[in-house]
Each structure stands twice: as structure tokens, then as C-alpha cells.
Amino acid sequence: MPQESHQQRRNSQNRKFTRRSSTSQSSNRRNSNANRQQRTDRAYSRSGNRDYLTEQPRREQRAPRRDHHQEDGIRLQKVLAQAGFGSRRKCEQLILDGRVEVDGDLVLELGTRVNPDKQRILVDGSRIHLHDTHITLALNKPKKVLSTMDDPKGRWTLRDIIGDKYERVFHMGRLDYDSEGLILMTDDGELSQHVMHPKYEVEKTYIATVEGKLSGGVCRRLVHTGVNLDDGWVKLDKCTILDQNRDYTMVRVVLHSGKNRIVRRIFGSLGYPVHRLVRTQIGPIKLGELKPGSYRVLSPVEVKSLEKEVGL
């Protein structure tokens, strides 16, 4: 066998050294990794938190989007109405106008349900508080008083009658400036919506004093046929002559319609101008002996009867 040259022996030694060096480095890396893992294990063992090793990357642990919707809650606009901010429709507009916050965030979705006992609800920056019980008033509006809560021209309004004791109440329906009688007021938005909505057909009773001598035939026509006004046909539910002389007739009328100035327009269309008009009843609630310019709080029995009338 030929003898190896000096150069061949050196190459062979270098290859052996390289293999030993690589093996040694690989072994050192394994030992180093193992040592690091042992130190890590000991550290987490001392901290009592081994679950951290299986955590997802930070980008997958983002906080969930703030969602104030409560599936078993109450619609936000209903909560606002119950708190005395007006009818359901008015409360919906408050939401759409960006004036309502839930837990510090603006809510613009009308379908949002909330839990008022657990969530902080603000309107125009002020926290709302639900009433344990609602207030409903019967008020006798005199002539020359507006059926509003304020007037920029300084005329008398319903607020001048009830004062500031009941800040959240609002009127359910109106009487025109020259008409008198019963107006219901409440801080219960849901009750107000039902009383005013044509769907529930709440009866209203008026005593009208008309110019001229009204005949029974005219009353029957108004009940059975009705009259055609600018905004469509309308009939009375009842028409009863109470008293009359050569110049005037006093008549009691009952109807469901809540259209503006409807009684005056009905009789005026037949040539009988209304000289005086007093509303005496809304549903089961009667004006009774309540004096003009005064009001009273409805009893729980009266409120219950009104709620029953409108399907609540």
C-alpha cells in the first residue's frame, strides 16, 4: 500500500477536527438550550404560572370590541321613555342625534338593548335614573293657555300651571289655544305613546256650544255619514244635544280622531261655528269638578284603567 503523503495526512486530520468541532458545538447548543429551558421552567414554577407557555401570540389576544348590546335587556329608546325623556319616537331621535352614551360610549343603533340596572346611561352628559313609579296628571286647561311646556313669546303654558314640581312630565295630546278642558300629562313615555297613537282609538268627549239651532238630523248625519274635510272623511261616535235656544246649541260629542281642531272643523264645515269647546273625558279619565287652571295626580286605579284602555 502506498504511503500517504504529508499533505493527505494533514487533510485527514483537519476533517476529523472539523467533525469533532461540529459535534462539540452542536452538543454545546443542545446543552445551552436545555439549560435555558430548565431556567425558564424553574422561573415559571416559582411564579406558579405554567399556562403562559401555551399563550397565543399577543396579536391574537386583543381586547374584544366594546359591545353594549344585552340580548335579554330593554330597548334603549324604551328605557329613555321610561326615564321621562318623551315619547318613544322622541327618544329614538335622541339616539340618532348622538346625545346618548352607554358606559362612556356613544350609541347610535336604535335596536340596542341595555340593562339600566348594570349599565351607565347618559343623555347630554347627565346620567338617567328610572323612576320606581310614574306620575300621571289630569289638568284643566283654561282658554288662552298653550298646550306646550314653554313659549318663546312668553305666553302662558302648561308649565305655568304645574310649576317645577314635576320636571319630567309632558302632555299627552293638545287642545288648541281657545279650547278648554282635560289634558293628561305623564312622565311615562310608553303610556303617552299609546294614548296618542291612532291605533288604540282612545275616545275623547267634548261639550261644544255651537252657533245656531242644531237639529237631531244633523247629529245623526255626523254619526252615520260624517263629513268630508280637507284631510279626509271623519265621523262622530256619538252626538247628543244637551240644550239649545234660538242662538246656540250645546252638544256632547264623542270621537276617536285626534286631528288638529277636529271638532271645530266638523261643525264649521256645516255652518255651525263653535263658540266654546271643553274636553271633559279621555278614555276612562274624567275632568270631573277640577277647576280651570288646576291639576291633580291620578290614582293608581285610574292609571291602571287608562293602561288597560290602551293595551298596556
Exactly one of 176, 188, 230, 237 is catalytic; which is it? 176
Q: What phi, psi does 291 have (nearest 5°)?
A: -80, 150
Does residue 303 contact residue 136 with C-beta atoms inside 8 Å? Answer: yes
- Output Rg (C-alpha) for the chain, integer angstroms: 40
- The total number of residues shown for the chain amounts to 312
d(CA 280, CA 290): 10
Sequence-distant (≥ 6) Cβ neighbours of residue 214 within 8 angstroms: 241, 244, 249, 251, 272
C-alpha cell at 131: 323612576
Residue 127 half-sphere exposure toward CB, CA atoms < 13 A: 8
Q: Tell me the one-letter amino acid at 235.
A: K
∠292-298-300 over CA atoms, to 5°?
Answer: 170
Query: Is residue 230 flagged as an active site residue?
Result: no
State the sign of the Cα–Cα–Cα–Cα dihedral 99, 105, 108, 113. Answer: negative
Residue 36 grid coordinates: 435555558
Active-site amino acid positions: 176
